[in-house]
């Protein structure tokens, strides 16, 4: 799974939708989840809280405190997605927990900070019959009349567009969305349902959370509730690839080929403008030996998202398999250059590793 952690699930094919909305959280609850424990605040270095210092100097002091060996020495761990207090206790974060902790520390220091998301980040994987993709989260700081992004710089995440500000409620909802996915992957449907309910109560306008709710409901055996959740996702985002793909599978299993065909046509149109979908189609073509088709899909993915090294690695392999060693070498060189740039931006080591 990628290091960016706002997850979208797609199934090959738990409760009614009104039940998923249970577990409502108040504004006070959001504020509590975005508060740092007193012992963490007490550990902040004086240079981070000195309001006579320039804002960016204080921001750097907070980042150094969070990542440096003489501070918290936080390490990256993909799962679980933890709240601020638990991340502090474990000294482990992913991009969601890092962002929430930074925002809490910055605000406690008198710095105007907020969470941000990048919608067109490529990151993907497969597990337990599910395909998932994710969206990166980082922090924004208001300083000197502009907004500066603060990002740990994951090596395998790249956003082509500028990140956009998200509300505190959506930031906390993404944390619960991740927890829902993590519980689902562990086979705990009850906990997954509880967490996706919290996510939706905080941010009912998030199409991805609705699509994920449908996946959880389908895994719980309530196909009708899953259908309603996917349709709600499409009301919010008519080209949501996850919800479209899940509906196609649901209608095929149900034997409703007319509906499946209609949504499949819509899905194909949406996939044409989606680099991640092109990447998946390329992989499927390559696996079946259709390397010409794979190359076409990889090249389209690159046109849509030009600086993703994973695309170039796939393209290089497809060229090699098709017998074009020169083109494969060019694609490999481009991937290496992009990977080197990402490595330079990386700001935190893996938990249990030296990377």
- Taking only the tens place, the pLDDT of each residue in 53-90 is 999 999 999 999 998 999 999 998 878 899 999 999 99
Q: How far apart are CA 88 and CA 82, in angstroms?
A: 9
Lowest mean pLDDT: which of 159-163, 211-215, 321-325? 159-163
What are 125's two structure tokens?
């994987």
Q: Domain 6-208, what architecture?
A: Roll (3.10)
Provide the percentage of residues in the chain whose pLDDT is more than 70: 81
Of the candidates 66, 85, 94, 276, which has an alpha carbon nearest to the alpha carbon of residue 174?
Answer: 94
Cα distance from N-terminal residue to C-terminal residue, the chain: 17
Higher pLDDT, 247 or 95: 247
Q: What is the pLDDT of residue 185?
A: 86
In the predicted structure, residue 2 carries a pLDDT above the cut 60: no
The mean pLDDT of the chain is: 84
Superfamily of domain 274-345: Tetratricopeptide repeat domain (1.25.40.10)
In the block, tokens 């567009």 appear at 161
pTM for the predicted model, two decimal places: 0.81
Q: What is the pLDDT of residue 94?
A: 86
Question: What residues does each domain of the chain span?
Answer: 6-208, 274-345
Give the total residue count for the chain.
Answer: 355
**How far is CA 335 from each of CA 29, 152, 155, 302, rounded to the nearest angstrom?**
44, 21, 13, 11
């Amino acid at each position: 799974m990628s290091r960016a952690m706002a997850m979208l699930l797609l199934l090959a094919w738990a409760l009614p939708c009104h039940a998923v909305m249970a577990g409502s959280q108040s504004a006070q609850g959001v504020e509590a989840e975005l508060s740092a424990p007193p012992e963490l605040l007490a550990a902040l270095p004086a240079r981070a809280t000195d309001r006579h210092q320039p804002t960016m100097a204080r921001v750097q002091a907070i980042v150094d405190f969070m990542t440096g060996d003489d501070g918290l020495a936080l390490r990256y761990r993909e799962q679980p997605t933890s709240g601020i207090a638990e991340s502090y206790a474990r000294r482990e974060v992913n991009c969601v927990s890092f962002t929430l902790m930074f925002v809490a520390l910055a605000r406690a220091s008198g710095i105007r900070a907020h969470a941000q998301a990048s919608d067109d980040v490529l990151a993907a994987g497969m597990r337990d019959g599910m395909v998932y993709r994710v969206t990166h989260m980082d922090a924004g700081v208001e300083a000197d009349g502009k907004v500066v992004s603060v990002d740990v710089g994951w090596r395998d995440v790249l956003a082509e567009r500028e990140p956009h500000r998200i509300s505190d409620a959506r930031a906390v909802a993404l944390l619960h969305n991740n927890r829902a996915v993590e519980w689902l992957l562990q086979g705990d449907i009850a906990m997954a349902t509880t967490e996706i309910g919290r996510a939706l109560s905080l941010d009912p306008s998030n199409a991805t959370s609705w699509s994920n709710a449908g996946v959880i409901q389908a895994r719980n055996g309530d196909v009708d509730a899953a259908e309603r959740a996917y349709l709600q996702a499409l009301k919010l985002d008519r080209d949501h690839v996850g919800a479209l793909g899940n509906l196609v599978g649901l209608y095929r299993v149900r034997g409703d080929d007319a509906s499946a065909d209609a949504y499949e046509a819509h899905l194909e149109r949406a996939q044409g403008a989606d680099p991640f979908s092109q990447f998946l189609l390329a992989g499927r073509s390559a696996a079946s030996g259709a390397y010409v088709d794979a190359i076409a899909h990889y090249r389209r993915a690159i046109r849509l998202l030009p600086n993703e090294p994973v695309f170039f690695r796939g393209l290089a392999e497809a060229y090699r398999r098709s017998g074009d060693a020169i083109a494969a070498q060019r694609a490999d060189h481009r991937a290496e250059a992009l990977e080197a740039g990402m490595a330079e931006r990386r700001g935190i080591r893996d938990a249990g590793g030296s990377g």
